[in-house]
Amino acid sequence: MDAVLERAARIRLLVLDVDGVLTDGRLYISAAGEELKVFHVRDGSGLVAVQRAGVTVAIISGRDSPAVTRRAAELGIRHVYQGVGDKGERLDQLLAELGVTAEETACVGDDTPDAPMLRRAGLAIGVADAHPALLAAAHWVTKSKGGRGAVREVCDLLLSAHGS
CATH number at residue 67: 3.40.50.1000
Average pLDDT over residues 10-21: 98
Residue-wise pLDDT for 91-126, tens only, equals: 999 999 999 999 999 999 999 999 999 999 999 999
Q: How many CB atoms neighbour CB 65 within 10 A?
A: 18
* Total domain count, the chain: 1
Average pLDDT over residues 37-60: 97
Cα(20)–Cα(122) distance, integer angstroms: 21
Domain range for 132 is: 2-161
DSSP letter, residue 145: P
73 burial (CB, 10 Å; 0-12 / 13-18 / 19+) is exposed
pLDDT for residue 94: 98
